[in-house]
Amino acid sequence: MPSVTLNVNSRTVTVNVEPQTLLVDLLRERLHLTGTHVGCDTSQCGACVVKVNGRTVKACTMFAIEADGQRVTTIEGLARPGDRGLHPMQQAFHEHHGLQCGFCTPGMVISATELLERTSQPSEHEIREWLEGNFCRCTGYHNIVKAVSACAKQQAATEEAK
C-alpha cells in the first residue's frame, strides 16, 4: 500500500492507504475526524467539504493519494488559537441558528469561510449562489445566509477597528 503524508489541521500525519481510498474516508475512518460527513456519495450535497491548501474541495471526489503533501483543514481544525474554541463562522452559525440537525453544517461552514476569504462583504445573492453546492434539508437556508452575512459584518468591523 502506498503511504501518504499530509498536514491535517496543522498536524503532520503519514498513513498507508489503498490507492482507491477517498480523502473523506481517510479523514473519517483512519484519522477519526468525523465532522466531515458523507452525505450522498455522488458529490452533490457538500457535506464532505474540506479545505485543501486553502481551497474548498468535496472530499468524496478526491483520492487520499492526491492529498499527499497537501494541507487539509476540516471543521475540527477550523478554529485558530485565540478563537476561544470556535471559528467566527462557527460562532455566527450558533448565534443565528444556522443549523438544525447539523449534518450539513461542517460543509456549509467550510464553504462559507472560503467565500469570505474571496469576498469580504458578499450580498445575500452571492452567499446563496456560493452555497449552491451544499444542501441543507432542515433550515431552508434563511438562517445560514443570516449567519454568513453576520460573520462578514463582524469581520469587517474587526478589520476596521485595527
Tell me if residue 116 falls in helix, strand or coil: helix
The fold of 88-161 is: DNA polymerase; domain 1 (1.10.150)
The CA radius of gyration of the chain, in Å to the nearest whole number, is 16
> Quick one: fold of 3-77?
Ubiquitin-like (UB roll) (3.10.20)
Strand partners, 50: 57
Question: What would the pLDDT profile of 31-76 be if each residue is shown by its tens digit?
Answer: 999 999 998 877 788 899 999 999 999 999 999 999 999 999 999 9
This prediction's pTM? 0.92
Task: Check: CB of residue 90 under 8 Å from CB of residue 145.
Answer: no
Calculate the average pLDDT of the chain: 92
Q: For residue 83, what pLDDT is reported?
A: 66
pLDDT for 82: 65
Shared fold status for 3-77 and 88-161: no
Q: Which residue has the higher pLDDT, 123 or 45?
A: 123
How far does CA 3 lie from the centroid of its chain?
A: 25
Distance CA 79, CA 109 (A): 11
Q: How far is CA 46 from CA 23, 55, 134, 158, in A?
A: 14, 14, 4, 29
On whether the CB atoms of residues 87 and 93 are closer than 8 A, the answer is: no
How do residues 76-98 score in pLDDT, each as one tens digit? 999 876 667 899 999 999 999 98
The domain segmentation of the chain, as residue ranges, is 3-77, 88-161
